[in-house]
Amino acid sequence: MKKTITIFGGTGDLTFRKLLPAMYNMHVTGGEGAGYDIVIIGRRDYTSGEYRQIARDWVKQFSRLPFTEEKYKDFSEKIEYYRMDFSDPAAYEGLENYYKERGLSEHIFYFAVAPRFFSTIAEGLDGIHEAGKGKVILEKPFGEDLESAKELSRRLEEIFAPDRIYRIDHYLGKEMVRNMQIIRFTNPVFANNWNRDAVSCIQISAMEDVGVENRAGYYDTSGAMKDMVQNHLLQILSIVAMERPASFKGEDLHEEQLKVLKALRPASGETIRDMLVLGQYEGYREEKGVKPDSTTETYAALRLFVDNERWQDVPFYIRTGKKLGRREMEVAVIFRQTEENGENNVLLIKIQPMEGVYFQFNIKRPGESEEVIQTKMDFCQSCVVENRINTPEAYERLLGACMRGERSWFSQWDQIEAGWRYVSGMKRIYQEENLPIVTYAQGTSGPEAADQMLNTMGHSWFGQD
C-alpha cells in the first residue's frame, strides 16, 4: 500500500507555485513527502506525461533547492494526473476505483480550490470507503463567510475525525513568524517590555507588489479582508499579543492566541471610520475576470485594540494590499519614547522577502557633539546562503508537519470562527455606514486615508513610506 497525497485543484497556481515545488524539495532532502505518491486532480485533458512536463517549468522556477533534470525525473514519476470534474458527485466512484487499482491508501487530501468547492469535495470523499481514515488539508479562506464556514466545519467533522482536519495558514510556516516567540520570550530585554507601559504601537504590514494575477475569479469574491486579514494577519497579531503559553505546542498555544482574538475591541458605527480603511487599486476593474463595477477591496488598513491588561489602548495597526510599491512583510514593535531628545526604539521583525531582525536605538553622535542620533543593529538571516538553503519553505514545513501528524501550527476552528466573526462584523458596519472604497494609484503605499488613521494617534507607518 502506498501513501498518497491527492491534490484537488492540480492545475491551479497554488499547486504549481507552492505545493509541487515543496514536494520536490522534500523529495530531494528525503523529507516526509519523499514517501508519498501524488495524484493530481484536474478537469483538463492531460496525460500524466503531459502534466509532468508542464509542472517541470514551475518546479524549476519555484523550488528552493537546485533543480536537476535527473532529480526531477525521479520525482515526477511519483506524479499521476487523474482527470475528473470534482464538482460532479458521480465522479468519486471512479476515483475510488482508481485508488484501489493502484493500491493507493493512507490518504492526504489537499483542497487547493476556491472555498465554494470545499463542501462538494468533502461530500464526494464521504462516499470513498478509505477516505475518512485519511487526513484533509484545507486552504484558506475556510468557507465563504461565518455561516458557510460553520456548516463546512460541522460536515467535515462528521466525515473526518476533528484531529484529521488540517486548516493551513501558510504564514504560520514562515521562518520569522516561527521565530517571533523566541525573540520575544527568550530575551528579557523584550519580554519585560512587551506591554502597554513600554510599547507605543505595533504595526503589521503585508505589502504586495503583485495584483490579482490570474486568480480574479476567487479574489473578486473575497477581497483583502477575507484573503489576508481574517487569517494570516490576525494569526500574526495573536502571536505577537498573546500571553506566554504553558508550552509552545498545540492546545496551549492555540488557547492563548484565541484569548487575544476574543479580546479584540468590537467596531461600532461611531468607531469604524477610525478603525478601517478599504481601498482598490486603479485599474483593478479592468483586470481579466473582475466585475467592471466591482467594489472588492484590494487594500485594507486597520487600527485594532486588544482589550486586556497588557495591551489596553495600545493600537495594533495592520495593513495589506496588492499592487503596492514593494513587497514587504514585517512586524514593527515601536517602543515609547521616554527621553525628549531620544527617538523611539523599534524592533522590526522582517518576514519577507528578506528575513531578519532590526533594532533601532539612540546613541551620541560621534565626536564633540552631544547630539542624540539613531542607529540600528540589523541582522539579515536570509543573507547567509547556508540559512537560505537549510530553511524549508512554509508549505514544505507544513506539509511535512501534517504528514507527521503535528498540529501545533495549523489554525484551529475556534480561531477561524473568531476571525470570521470579527472581520465580517467590521465589513458589515463599514458598508452600513456607506464608507468608501478609496482608489489608490499602483506602485504607491496605499490610500492616504490609511496614513491619516495613524496620524490622528500621533503615529506613522514605520519604514520607507
The residue type at 213: E
Asked if residues 277 and 304 have their Cβ atoms less than 8 Å apart, the reply is no
* Least distance between ligand BG6 and beta carbon 205 (Å): 11
- The residue sitting closest to ligand BG6, measured at its beta carbon, is 227
Residue list, annotated binding site: 43, 85-86, 140, 170, 174, 208, 227, 322
Reply yes or no: is the peptide bond before residue 353 cis, omega within 30 of 0: yes
Asked if residues 76 and 53 have their Cβ atoms less than 8 Å apart, the reply is no
Number of helical H runs and strand E runs in the chain: 18, 15
Residue list, annotated binding site for NADP(+): 43, 85-86, 140
CB atoms within 10 A of CB 158: 10
Pick 10 or 134: Cβ nearer ligand BG6 = 10
* Least distance between ligand BG6 and beta carbon 208 (Å): 5
Phi, then psi, of 270 in degrees rounded to 5: -75, -35
* Least distance between ligand BG6 and beta carbon 228 (Å): 6
Please state, in angstroms and rounded to a whole number, the distance separating the CA atoms of residues 147 and 416.
12
* Least distance between ligand BG6 and beta carbon 69 (Å): 28
Establish whether 232 is a catalytic residue: yes
Pick 39 or 114: Cβ nearer ligand BG6 = 114
Kindly list the residues in this chain that would bind ligand BG6 in the complex (CB under 6 A).
Answer: 170, 208, 227, 329, 352
Residues ≥6 apart with Cβ < 8 Å to 407: 163, 166, 250, 401
| Stretch (H or E) spanning 360 | strand 356-364
Pick 329 or 333: Cβ nearer ligand BG6 = 329
Catalytic residue among 27, 107, 129, 232: 232
Pick 92 or 166: Cβ nearer ligand BG6 = 166
Helices (H), 293-412: 385-390, 394-404
Please state, in angstroms and rounded to a whole number, the distance separating the CA atoms of residues 428 and 145.
12
CB atoms within 10 A of CB 425: 16
Pick 125 or 172: Cβ nearer ligand BG6 = 172
The residue type at 298: T
The residue type at 338: T
Count of residues in the chain: 465
Positions annotated as catalytic residues are: 232
